[in-house]
Amino acid sequence: MYGMVNEGIRTFILDNHGPEAWQSICETAGLEELEFERMSSYDDAITYKLVGAICSFTGLPASDVLSIFGKYWVEYAGASHFGNLMRLAGNSFIEQLKGLDDMHDRILLSMPHLKPPSFEVDQKEDGSCILHYYSDRDGLAPMVIGLLHGLAKETGESIEVNQVAVKSEQADHDIFEIRILDTALKPMRPEAGI
């Protein structure tokens, strides 16, 4: 996992719970590092340990922690130098969703060791779409759901997301069905829940 994800987790906890909470979470996770280099690569196990420690701290299941962080991630990444890359795809939810792979391709130019996920979008005639999410990592589908809702808020849209297939021995990726409910909303800041 690249360091910006772990640093995003750190920032979220600091902003919502303070430095003592972050210290406690790191201790529970068995981590000595309290900060992460954004452009460095870290073992995925560190991120999973952080999620587990946050679950212990908040009492929330991992799916909720990941979903809440996914919503936050969009704002966090958007405020970084990756924000311009996100906005290059377009202004609508569907345009930005379709642009995620292009954004990851640009990031790979400066971080060739990165193993980003891949997103394939199939639009339907009724305005909904099917999202195919491919990743070498397991268990991050709830974060994708949060990320989708975060993207929709950034573009002023409201969506409904249903996971219709789960990565398993029988399927090599997760599949989500997304319906756009409203495009008249004003962009809002993601809520803090953990």
Query: For 138, left (φ over 0), alpha (ψ -120 to 50), or beta?
Result: beta
The matching CATH number, chosen from 3.40.50.920, 3.90.1520.10, 2.40.10.220, 3.20.20.70, for 73-181 is 3.90.1520.10
pLDDT, one tens digit per residue, over 93-115 is 888 899 888 877 777 777 777 78
Q: What's the whole-model pTM score?
A: 0.86
Alpha-carbon gap, residue 25 to 10, rounded angstroms: 10
Tokens describing residue 115: 């193993």
For residue 193, the model assigns a pLDDT of: 58
| CB contact at 8 A, 44 and 116 | no
% of the chain with per-residue pLDDT over 70: 89
Strand order in the sheet with 118-123: 118-123, 129-134, 174-182, 158-165
For residue 6, the model assigns a pLDDT of: 94
List Cα–Cα distances, 11 to 53, 102, 103, 134, in angstroms: 15, 26, 22, 27
